[in-house]
A and B are shown apart, each in its own frame.
Chain A
Amino acid sequence: MVRNNKISDSILVSDYIGGKEASLSILINRHKQRLYSFIYSKIQDKDLTEDVFQDTFIKVIRTLKKGNYNEEGKFLPWVMRIAHNLVIDYFRKNNRMPSFKNTDEFDIFSVLHDGSLNAENKIIQEQIYNDVRELINELPEEQKEVLVMRLYKDMSFKEISENTGVSINTALGRMRYSLINMRKLIEKHNIILVN
């Protein structure tokens, strides 16, 4: 145990990426209390906290195994940010859910119709994702890089700056221009990105 405490997060992460599964267990046990408390402080529900905690580490595991992790030495802030984003997703989803009132006037179809996307909407959603991917591919390389790191890899601008070797302001600028350029492309091609 004492020995485990001496191993830094970055070494454990690197060992885990290298195939040492036991390192994951040490990382989870080292940070579980802080992460769990953080999620619970936002959600205030034990079961949901458990779910978000689990989803957070599933995302961590997937990202590490895909080799998409670039934040040596900053494991916990990265994990906390993933958890934070999942908490936001939970609240967004929750707000969209129709309220359930168990009365005689309750209409089951008011709940059922909104639960998931129907086949048509799924196709439209897939088309939207494809359009967005194509739009991103149209961007200049340096703008695309920042946008992908920020939106798909959940990286902060500070981390993007460290990974790309440019200042935070430049990274912010590239992000801004990538969005401006995407809007221009959307207008130019009359693309509709609404389901």
Chain B
Amino acid sequence: MMKLYPKETSSIQKQPKKETIQFLINFSKSLRIVETKSKDFIELNLN
């Protein structure tokens, strides 16, 4: 019998690319947050 609907997308496909995950991990490693005396935050990206 002909299938009217395509096979449901596998849940394995519904996830972000490995590059995106790696970017986030690298981003986190390179990010330093410094709190100033006036209680503001400064972001330092140490690449």
Contacts and interface: CB of A to CB of B under 8 A. Distances in A.
A binds B: yes
The dominant DSSP class at the A interface is helix
Given A33-B15, A36-B15, A37-B11, A65 B31 contact: yes
Contacts of B43: 62
A40 B41 CA distance: 32
A53 B16 contact: yes
Interface in A68-120: none
Interface string A1-24: 000000000000000000001001
Contacts of A65: 28, 31-33
Contacts, number: 52
Nearest to B32: A65
A65 B41 CA distance: 10
Number of contact residues on B: which range applies? 10 to 19
A66 B33 CA distance: 6
A36 B17 CA distance: 10
Contacts of B29: 21
Interface of B: 11, 14-17, 20-21, 23-25, 27-29, 31-33, 35, 41, 43
Given A21-B28, A36-B15, A66 B41 contact: yes
Nearest to A35: B16
Of B23, B27, B29, B43, most A-chain CB atoms within 10 Å: B27
Contacts of A28: 21, 24-25
A28 B35 CA distance: 26
A13 to B, nearest CB: 13
Contacts of A24: 24-25, 28
